Amino acid sequence: MNYWIAPSILAADFSRLGDEIRAVLDAGADIIHFDVMDNHYVPNLSVGALVLDSLRKAGIDATMDVHLMAKPADRLIGDFLSAGADIISVHPEATDHLHRTLSLIRDGGAQPGLVFNPATPIDLLSEVIDLVDLVLIMSINPGFGGQAFIPASLDKLTDAREMIDASGREIRLEVDGGIKADNIAASARAGADTFVAGSAIFGSEDYRATIDAMRKALAAA
Ligand code: DX5
Ligand code: ZN
């Protein structure tokens, strides 16, 4: 299994964001999870496309996995495409016309992702599965880092994995929220292949040791 570890910038030191991203990439991160919050769809504010654009101009060429927690989503998509997003994931609750939103991302040359909150039914995936390259299962309610993993997310991962396998399409299955070295294996066993971790990585003393511990747990999953 080709597992990806995706540090979330939300827990990084924003005064040194470029250095923090280089540090986790050097420590073995596969992609960077870029959390966008608008104090409207979620009760918190983070960063926008301008910051992504600056990181690209500073030479950071890693895969950027943009998690859009902003409503309405459509107007921002062009900004993130121009700024150099590789993956853009949207919440169905943050757009009136999900099919159009996912198409905007695909037509703009990025990979569309669809995000499921703890209370969002996974059935919706069947309606748009041909349009998504990534499914993101929230294992917390979106808005803040450092929350505890919600155990029922494992059943949702299992259901999503079944739907993805039945589709025959190549779709990444990502989990976001409360992921640590000591619980990452359970999500892998439930079908996840991409793991967001904010506080567990950026809150640790040694990024490499933390990512290595996650990989070891995944190898044994
Ligand atoms: C929360 C964000 C997460 C967050 C995860 O809304 O989507 O990506 O940074 O943080 P941890 O890993 O600390 O739960
Ligand atoms: Zn996120």
Q: Is 107 a residue of the active site?
A: no
Q: What is the pLDDT, as a whole number, of residue 197?
A: 99
The amino acid that residue 121 corresponds to is P
Q: Which domains does the chain have, with CATH numbers?
A: 4-219 (3.20.20.70)
Closest residue by CA, ligand 1 atom 7 = 142
- Paired tokens of 163: 């739907």
- Write down the catalytic residue from 30, 38, 176, 193: 176
| Active-site residue, 35 included | yes
Contact yes or no for 156/22 (Cβ under 8 A): no
Check residue 1 and give its pLDDT: 84
Pocket of ligand 1 (CB under 6 A): 8, 10-11, 33, 35, 67, 140, 142-143, 145-147, 176-179, 196-200
Distance 137 CA to ligand 2 centre (A): 10
- Is the backbone peptide bond immediately before 72 cis, with ω within 30 degrees of 0? yes
Name residue 22's amino acid: R
Residue 107, classified by CB atoms within 10 Å of its CB into exposed (0-12), middle (13-18) or buried (19+), is exposed
Please tell me the predicted confidence (pLDDT) of residue 110: 99
Strands 111-116 and 4-7: unpaired
123 burial (CB, 10 Å; 0-12 / 13-18 / 19+) is exposed
Q: Which of 5, 9, 10 to mutate to test the pocket of ligand 1 (most atoms within 8 A of CB)?
A: 10
Radius of gyration of the chain (CA): 16
User: Residue 65's pLDDT is what?
Assistant: 99
**Torsion, CA 133, CA 192, CA 217, CA 11, rounded to 10:** 70
Spatial CA neighbour of 207 closest among 2, 12, 64: 12
Quote the CA–CA distance of 156 and 149 in Å, as a whole number.
13
pLDDT in tens, the chain (221 residues): 899 999 999 999 999 999 999 999 999 999 999 999 999 999 999 999 999 999 999 999 999 999 999 999 999 999 999 999 999 999 999 999 999 999 999 999 999 999 999 999 999 999 999 999 999 999 999 999 999 999 999 999 999 999 999 999 999 999 999 999 999 999 999 999 999 999 999 999 999 999 999 999 999 99
Residues whose CB falls within 8 Å of the CB of residue 19, separated by 6 or more in sequence, listed in order: none
Question: For residue 205, how far is the Cα from the chain centroid?
Answer: 23
